[in-house]
Amino acid sequence: MSPVHTIPLQLRFGDEDSYGHVNNVRFLQFLEDARVLLMSEPRPGGSFMDLVDADHFTLVGRQEIEYRAPLNFSITPAAVDLWVTAVGGSSFELGYAVRDRMESEGSTTSAIAATTMVLVSRSTGRPVRLSEAQKRILSAWAGPAVPFRRARSK
């Protein structure tokens, strides 16, 4: 199985703003939608979210997005590619590419992004270590660093 997962993205007419392209804020929603689908994806032994018990949850710790081309409304689905770029003790980073169509060949990448997710305890509000089972799932989705044009701030 490829570490890059492609999630279809049905654009809505209301996603466009007065400038005639999809509003930049909507891109963060697209990333969230794709992330939730990936993390809930059924797998042998359960999805990633099945391995997050009731006392834990994931939070967005950081997001970075680079817009590369306008994305315009179309009835043809766009696509969000996503993969894991890093796995740490209590966090992991997802990489994304938002494209104007599902087919890779001839598609235009409208944005690339990275999101750092942190596993947190509900009772303490503090980060907690990822389990080995969670790390195994995340590692199966490992892919390259997001190719931002500028060096990322740390």
* Domain total in the chain: 1
Reported as a single tens digit per residue, the pLDDT across 83-103 is 999 999 999 999 999 999 999
Q: How far is the CA of 20 from the CAs of 9, 16, 72, 101, in angstroms?
A: 18, 6, 7, 18
The structure tokens listed for 135 are: 């790390």
* Domain-located, residue 124: yes
* Domain-located, residue 47: yes
Percent of the chain at pLDDT exceeding 70? 96
The CATH number linked to 62 is: 3.10.129.10
The structure tokens listed for 101 are: 């169509």
Q: What is the dihedral angle through the alpha carbons of 63, 69, 75, 77, rounded to the nearest 10 degrees?
A: -50
Q: Indicate whether 151 pLDDT > 80.
A: no
* Domain-located, residue 146: no
Q: Indicate whether 2 pLDDT > 60.
A: no
- Distance, in Å, from the CA atom of 100 to the CA atom of 74, rounded to the nearest integer, reads 9
111 touches 99 (CB < 8 A): no
Sign of CA dihedral 103, 80, 146, 49: negative
* 31 pLDDT tier (thresholds 50, 70, 90): very high
Domain ranges, residue 65:
5-140
pLDDT of residue 3: 64
Q: How far is the CA of 95 from the CAs of 60, 98, 113, 122, in angstroms?
A: 13, 10, 6, 26
Q: Running DSSP on this structure, what letter comes out for residue 34?
A: H
* 1 pLDDT tier (thresholds 50, 70, 90): very low
